[in-house]
Structure formats: structure tokens, C-alpha cells
Amino acid sequence: MEAIRIRRRVLVTGRVQGVFFRSATERTASALGVDGWVRNLPDDRVEAVFEGAAPAVMAAVEWTRTGPTHARVDSVDVVDEEPEGLTGFRIRQAPDERRADHRVR
């Protein structure tokens, strides 16, 4: 029986840019087998979307509450969304960046 997929969007506030939050999120999500993406936002928050089996997605969401070693997470807002069928996990460009996405397969 295939696990039911869920999707959570998180907005992480605190000292979460310039501390390798995106790359650590990418590694964590990939290790958990979670699909989705992460990006910096212009207002200094980090936004991430996690899709996959409920236990893995919830573990990824929980990880964002502390983040990598040098991060300071003040708050995490979590929104339930309908899964879109994402595959792989990528670091997505911020809305004001011009670089291409970085994808992990």
C-alpha cells in the first residue's frame, strides 16, 4: 500500500539567511526522502515546501524549528496544502535572484 502524500509550506523567521539554512534543508529533506524546494525571501525569511509521506514531511517540518548550527529560528509558520506531485528537492531562486535553480536528484 502506497503512503498517503501530504504537503506543508513553512515560513521560517529568525537568523536563517547566511547560515547555510537552504543547503542544510536540502540535505535534510533529501535524506528523509521528501520532495519540494527551499528559497530565501526578500524579507529575510526562508520558505520551504515539503511533499511526501506524512512521517517524513513532519520530520522535515520539525527540523526547520531548529535548523542548522548557526541559525536562530524565532518562529515557523506551517500551512497545509494539497500535494502537487513534486519530485526531487531543489534550492529555488529567491524572487529577486536571477540564478537558475539547483536540483538534487
Asked if 22 is an active-site residue, the reply is yes
d(CA 64, CA 76): 7
**7, 8, 39, 40: which is the annotated catalytic residue?**
40
Q: Under the phi-then-psi rule, with left for phi > 0, alpha for psi from -120 to 50, and beta for the rest, what region is 32?
A: alpha
**22, 45, 90, 92: which is the annotated catalytic residue?**
22
Q: Give the C-alpha distances (Å, rounded to integers) separating 13 from 17, 99, 102.
A: 9, 23, 23
Asked if 9 is an active-site residue, the reply is no
- Catalytic positions are 22, 40
